[in-house]
Amino acid sequence: MLQTDRVILSQLYSQRVNGLREDKLKINEFKRKEIGHQDFDDWGFVHYPDFKFEARPNHPSGLVYGYVAIGEHLRRFFNEIPKYINKNSALAGAWIGPLQNFVRMGIIPEDQPSDLKEVWAKYNTFPGFGGMNHCAGDIEIGLKLGWGGLLDKIRHFREFNSPADTSFYDGEELVVLGMQEWTGALALEAERMAQEESDPDTRKNLLEIAEINQWLVNNPPRTLREACQFIAHFQTLDRTYFAGGAMDQLDEVLRPYYEKDMEAGILTDEQAVWYVASLFFNDTHYSQIAGLTPDGSRDMTSRMSFIILDAMHYLRIPANIALRVHDDVNPQLLRRSLEYMLEDGTGVSYSCNIGCEQGYAKNGYPLQLARMRAKVGCNWTAIPGREYPLQDVTRCNLGFAFHYAMEDIRCGEPSLEALFERFCHHTKIIVDSIKSGYDRHYEVIGRNTPELVYNLFMHGPVERGLNCSEGGVDILNFNIDGVGMATVADSFAAIEQRVVKEGRITWQELFDVLDKNYEGAENIRLMLKNISRLGCPGSEAQKWADRIRNHYVWCCKHEGTPKYNLPIIPGMFSHGNIGELGAKLPATPNGRKAGEAISHSNEPDPGFAAGIDSFSPSLKANAVAALQPGYGNSSPLHLDIDTDMLGKAGGIDALISLIHTHNQMGGTLINLNCLTGKKLLEAHEDPSRHPDLVVRVTGYSAFFASLSKEYRQQVVDRFLSSRK
Amino acid sequence: MNSKGNIFNIQHFSIYDGPGVRTTVFFKGCNLRCKWCHNPESISPKNQIEFYSDRCIGCGACFKACPNGVHVLDDKQMHMINRAKCIGCLACADVCFANAITAVGKYVDADYVFASIMEDYLYYSNSKGGVTFSGGECMLQIEFLYEILKRCREKGIHTAVDTAGNVPWSSFERILPLTDLFLYDIKAADPALHKLLTGAENVRILNNLERLSASGKQILVRIPFVPECNDGQIPGIAGILKSLNISRVEVMPYHKLGDNKYTALGMDNELKAVEVPTEAMMDRAVEILVSEGLNAVKT
């Protein structure tokens, strides 16, 4: 019988977890003042403004590149950075910012795809070339071997394979040596701090940290706490190198340690909560809990899944845990996650098994493999340790495809079908250019910026001596994300309604007002904006969105990359980049002015509901589910729920229904915030009033106060439109 | 058959109008005039316009579109609406793209409403929810209601009818086989006070409730609790309900969320000065109902 009750913390552990949160808020405030706003996950780095590090470029351009040079820099970096240990934590270490803040690493000029850059600039496209991380390691490889075992493995296969060029192994060796030295240094630092510590509980904790880290220099972890410490070191390394953030199926990874420790009588649930909270304090890596086993016979929910939720709840700082939803997911786990959501305002995200798994299987992979694809990125999934699925590094800007289509038709006899034909033409140009960039990426990424960290935690790279992007792992695919669906679909629908059907303005008048950025034509702008927009039941915009999605998916899927026929999987995800993606885009016929943000992913715009159908979360969810690209890569749904509305009886049941329904309709990911309008608006006005307010921005959660005003506005707009 | 009806709102993902997640369809037109009505746009059976002056961009399109000279400027050059002349043609709302003038009410056919209902079909099955027909008084458009209820029944969708009960019993008979739950509003026990507060006596309402109770249909009674109006009526209502077959009683606190709608519709709000009830007042009301053996809660 699965134990599902909430863990109640005693005074000691409550103080420690609360202390971590308070320290986090102080660290955060310091970062905000020193660095300014950051529109990403609230990474767990500790800022040391005076830290200096010498870069030793190995290319005339001033770049550091290649296995050995980067490996040497990583090793030296970990030897030189401050040895941070928080006395309230069960674990040692923190990263201090990405290595590229101190060292220019990247792809050398002669390997750059200069022939493609013009196209990417023209369409304001994020090409994905040179993208790093966005794959996931199988952390169990590290947990079984430890740093010592990983070093032995590297040395064994270097000798066994005897490659002509040993730089792959030499670089990986340098990374592992650096981590061993880092771990050993933390042990010494903990011991030093213990000697100076007067509080007996804290001294004991520091001595335990010292002992654990001393063991982990060469040996694999034996206990839950040691496993968490090893994972924390992995997080620190992973974030340092190009800000990697993918973890694993965390409940299943930790479950054997938890069960073994409990059986041995050396662990209590509250200690487990503290260890996991300390891990979340260390960093906000992305992990999944629950979901089906590969054979689909069992839900993976365990006691560890509940403990992970408790740790998030007690810590109440950003954490990036996803709960994989399926029809038979443990109902108590789902309910608990929502209870915490309503209490804390934020919590887990919900990864949907039908859209993710059945969609992925449509690429030709077995469904059993698809079930192993865990949500380990802000919007994306990967099979830990077995797949290189480069995701979330591209943005195919549909807004620009539409803009150039409008330019194409203005000289002839404009028509909607001509416009759509040209839109398809330009969309294909963008997608094809990204594909060509991926061919180049595939050729050069390993010799420039290899996946030095993930290679260690994957099945194949060390065994074969190959970077995971080029044969190190067996499963290789590349993602392209479309963005700005509503901007384009609403533009088509506005033209159809106002120009073609109603004849309220002519095509020429439309071109004129767009050229003038609607100056002196506010009423025309509002006329074009106030149509039945994407998200309204039965809207023309919905029909256009279907056509756009179908064409976009076809562009991605009908053939692989031109040179190597690498498989492409389409997604639709904008992260928070909608401001940047719209900044150079001229005015569009959906009433959007030049430079304004474009629409998120495939979501209806805020305020889409009009007429007799008023806004509801289900209308938005239905539109997002209906417009999924359909091959397993995510197109997330963002919902900001007013706690005043759902905090009453029946609210959680309604959310459970919403989550299951979105899953059954083929959605892939749900990001929820449960907020009160009062608190959100106060924090927007003056972020310092609510420094502890945590929100889910897109796929990731962050302190609201740390976000730039533009990103805060995105969250506020979404929330306000949901209350109309 | 695809008859038409006047609807002013379809609210998806509604969780307070019956069990589970529901779609609530609001019918326009009511034959009561409750002083506290928070949906004043639901009262008239005809199309109306709401005017939100803060959104007006001064384009003048409404002046040109109106066939009756409803839109005028006062002596301070402020946009005024002469509602006495308005025929509800909505021509002004049709050209007001700033949404300063919005249409209230739309004649739609049953196909339209049912398609909107079906958007959330899976939500109903996942939450044991369904569809609620509200208003206004949805039973005043009984054939339109009947047609949509019939389609819901064919799809196995749970149905609830939210009514004040001031309609002929024959209307209930028409929809009885197609309705799973009645949300039945009771506003006052005393007939004279009821007339004062709502403009109509409650004899027919209470008779219908009695007959509905005898039919065995599930009934959830809802009591709007309005200080200075019906707050003294709870014992009397409890006395009526205790002998009936009522599954649950919900006491709903008066709120002021509809205040700005009165302004937008150019209507007087008689209860503008009345405060919302305190929690203690609500608790006391529930206590009285519970003491009579009723399953009562506040919402």
Instruction: Say if CB A86 and CB A20 are below 8 A apart.
Output: yes
CB atoms within 10 A of CB A109: 11
- A36-45, A652-661, B102-111, B175-184, range with the lowest pLDDT: A36-45
Instruction: Say if CB A242 and CB A132 are below 8 A apart.
Output: yes
Region A135-146 average pLDDT: 97
Q: Which of A613, A648, A660 lies nearest to residue B10, judging by beta carbons?
A: A613
Region A702-717 average pLDDT: 75
Amino acid at residue number B237: I
Region B256-270 average pLDDT: 87
Partner B contacted by A651 (CB < 8 A): yes
Instruction: Say if CB A147 and CB A175 are below 8 A apart.
Output: no
What are the start and end residues of each CATH 3.20.20.70 domain in chain B?
4-45+106-298
Closest CA to B21 of A513, A259, A606, A655: A655
- The stretches of A36-138 forming alpha helices (DSSP H) are 67-80, 114-122
Kindly determine whether residue A664 and residue B13, on different chains, have CB atoms separated by under 8 Å: no
Q: Which of B57, B112, B123 lies nearest to residue A618, judging by beta carbons?
A: B123
Instruction: Say if CB A347 and CB A672 are below 8 A apart.
Output: yes
Residues 6+ apart with CB under 8 A from B38: B255, B256, B257, B258, B261
Kindly determine whether residue A653 and residue B119, on different chains, have CB atoms separated by under 8 Å: no
**What token pair was written down for A87?**
């006395």
CA–CA gap between residue A488 and residue A423 (Å, rounded): 10
- A671-675, B168-172, B199-203, range with the lowest pLDDT: A671-675
Distance from CA of B20 to the nearest CA of A (A): 7
CA–CA gap between residue A461 and residue A464 (Å, rounded): 5
For residue B35, is pLDDT > 90? yes
Nearest CA in chain A to B297: A649
pLDDT at A318: 86
pLDDT grade for A642, boundaries at 50, 70 and 90: confident
pLDDT at A707: 77
- A257-261, A689-693, B49-53, range with the lowest pLDDT: A689-693
Half-sphere exposure of A102 (CA within 13 A, CB side): 23
If DSSP codes are grouped into helix, strand and coil, which group holds residue A415?
coil
pLDDT at A721: 64
Compute and round to an integer the Cα radius of gyration of chain A: 25
Cis before B136? omega within 30: yes
Beta strand pairing call for A568-571 and A478-483: parallel
Tell me what percent of the residues of chain A surpass a pLDDT of 70: 97
Closest CA to A382 of A313, A451, A458: A458
CB atoms within 10 A of CB A121: 11
CA–CA gap between residue A24 and residue A86 (Å, rounded): 10
Tell me what percent of the residues of chain A surpass a pLDDT of 90: 84
Chain A residues whose CB is inside 8 A of the B252 CB are: none
pLDDT grade for A543, boundaries at 50, 70 and 90: very high
Region A344-364 average pLDDT: 95
Region A606-627 average pLDDT: 90
Chain A residues whose CB is inside 8 A of the B61 CB are: 523
Partners of B14 in beta bridges: B22
Residues 6+ apart with CB under 8 A from A614: A724, B9, B10, B11, B12
Kindly determine whether residue A613 and residue B12, on different chains, have CB atoms separated by under 8 Å: yes
pLDDT grade for A294, boundaries at 50, 70 and 90: very high
Under DSSP, the state recorded for A473 is S
CB atoms within 10 A of CB A496: 19
For residue A723, is pLDDT > 60? no
Give the mean pLDDT of chain B: 94
If DSSP codes are grouped into helix, strand and coil, which group holds residue A64?
strand
What are the start and end residues of each CATH 3.30.70.20 domain in chain B?
48-104
Instruction: Say if CB B160 and CB B183 are below 8 A apart.
Output: yes
Q: Is the ipTM of this complex over 0.95?
A: no
pLDDT at A686: 79
Query: Three-state secondary structure along B143-195?
Result: HHHHHHHHHHHHCCCEEEEEECCCCCHHHHHHHHHHCCEEEEECCCCCHHHHH
pLDDT at A448: 98
Residues 6+ apart with CB under 8 A from A164: none
pLDDT grade for A639, boundaries at 50, 70 and 90: confident
pLDDT grade for A142, boundaries at 50, 70 and 90: very high
Element (H, E) at A570: strand A568-571
For residue A724, is pLDDT > 60? no
Residues 6+ apart with CB under 8 A from A516: none
Q: Which stretches does DSSP call E strand in A314-402?
A: 320-325, 349-352, 374-375, 381-382, 387-388, 394-397
- Residue A518 exposed, middle or buried by CB count within 10 Å (0-12, 13-18, 19+): buried
Partner B contacted by A537 (CB < 8 A): yes
Beta strand pairing call for A568-571 and A381-382: unpaired
Q: pLDDT tens across A464-476, in order?
A: 999 999 999 999 9
Closest CA to A586 of A493, A489, A491: A491
Mutate one of A612, A614, A660, A722 to test the B interface: name it (highest B CB count within 10 A).
A612
pTM above 0.90, yes or no: yes
Higher pLDDT, A31 or B1: A31
Closest CA to A318 of A648, A698, A630: A698
Give the mean pLDDT of chain A: 94
Region A606-614 average pLDDT: 85
Give CA torsion, residues A345, B16, B251, B225, to 10 deg: 90
For residue B242, is pLDDT > 70? yes
Mutate one of B14, B15, B104 to test the A interface: name it (highest A CB count within 10 A).
B15
Instruction: Say if CB A667 and CB A678 are below 8 A apart.
Output: no
Query: Three-state secondary structure along B270-284?
Result: CCCCCCCCCHHHHHH
Task: Delimit the domains of chain A by residue range.
Answer: 1-36+250-364+637-724, 393-446+485-635
Kindly determine whether residue A664 and residue B126, on different chains, have CB atoms separated by under 8 Å: yes
Tell me what percent of the residues of chain B surpass a pLDDT of 90: 84
Kindly determine whether residue B106 and residue A612, on different chains, have CB atoms separated by under 8 Å: yes
CA–CA gap between residue A156 and residue A169 (Å, rounded): 10
For residue B185, is pLDDT > 90? yes
Where b means 16+ CB within 10 Å and e means fewer, A37-63 reads ebbbbbbbbbbeeeeeeebeebbeeeb
Kindly determine whether residue B57 and residue A616, on different chains, have CB atoms separated by under 8 Å: no
pLDDT at A8: 98
Region A517-532 average pLDDT: 95
Q: Which of B21, B61, B115 lies nearest to residue A654, judging by beta carbons?
A: B21
Phi-psi region of A232 (alpha: psi -120 to 50; beta: other; left: phi over 0): alpha
For residue B241, is pLDDT > 80? yes
Q: pLDDT tens across B91-149, in order?
A: 999 999 999 999 999 999 999 999 999 999 999 999 999 999 999 999 999 999 999 99
Kindly determine whether residue A616 and residue B108, on different chains, have CB atoms separated by under 8 Å: no
For residue A688, is pLDDT > 90? no
Mutate one of A657, A660, A721 to test the B interface: name it (highest B CB count within 10 A).
A657
pLDDT at A705: 75
pLDDT grade for B272, boundaries at 50, 70 and 90: confident
Closest CA to A448 of A55, A69, A61: A69
Region A707-714 average pLDDT: 76
DSSP per residue over chain B, as a string? ---EEEEEEEEEEE-SSSSSSEEEEEEP--S---TT-S-GGGTSSS-EEEE-GGG-----HHHHH-SS--EEE-TTS-EEE-GGG--S--HHHHH-TTSSEEEE-EEEEHHHHHHHHHTTHHHHHHHT-EEEEESS-GGGGHHHHHHHHHHHHHTT-EEEEEE---S-HHHHHHHGGG-SEEEEE---SSHHHHHHHHSS-SHHHHHHHHHHHHHT-EEEEEEEE-TTTTTT-HHHHHHHHTTS--SEEEEEE---TTHHHHHHHT---TTTTPPPPPHHHHHHHHHHHHHTT--EEE-
For residue A119, is pLDDT > 90? yes
CA–CA gap between residue A274 and residue A256 (Å, rounded): 17
Q: pLDDT tens across B140-168, in order?
A: 999 999 999 999 999 999 999 999 999 99
Sign, Cα dihedral of A428, A572, B116, A327: positive
pLDDT at A646: 66
pLDDT grade for A674, boundaries at 50, 70 and 90: confident
pLDDT at B57: 87
For residue A722, is pLDDT > 70? no
Closest CA to B200 of B29, B30, B27, B33: B33
CATH class entry, domain B4-45+106-298: alpha beta
CA–CA gap between residue A534 and residue A531 (Å, rounded): 9
Instruction: Say if CB A448 and CB A65 are below 8 A apart.
Output: yes
Nearest CA in chain A to B103: A611
pLDDT grade for A699, boundaries at 50, 70 and 90: low
Kindly determine whether residue B129 and residue A660, on different chains, have CB atoms separated by under 8 Å: no
CB atoms within 10 A of CB A414: 19
CA–CA gap between residue A143 and residue A137 (Å, rounded): 12
CA–CA gap between residue B32 and residue B167 (Å, rounded): 11
CB atoms within 10 A of CB A167: 16
For residue A574, is pLDDT > 60? yes
CATH class entry, domain B48-104: alpha beta
Q: pLDDT tens across A18-52, in order?
A: 999 999 999 988 888 888 877 666 678 999 999 99
**What token pair was written down for A378?**
């802000």
CA–CA gap between residue B132 and residue B23 (Å, rounded): 6
Closest CA to A283 of A241, A234, A249, A331: A234
Region A605-625 average pLDDT: 89
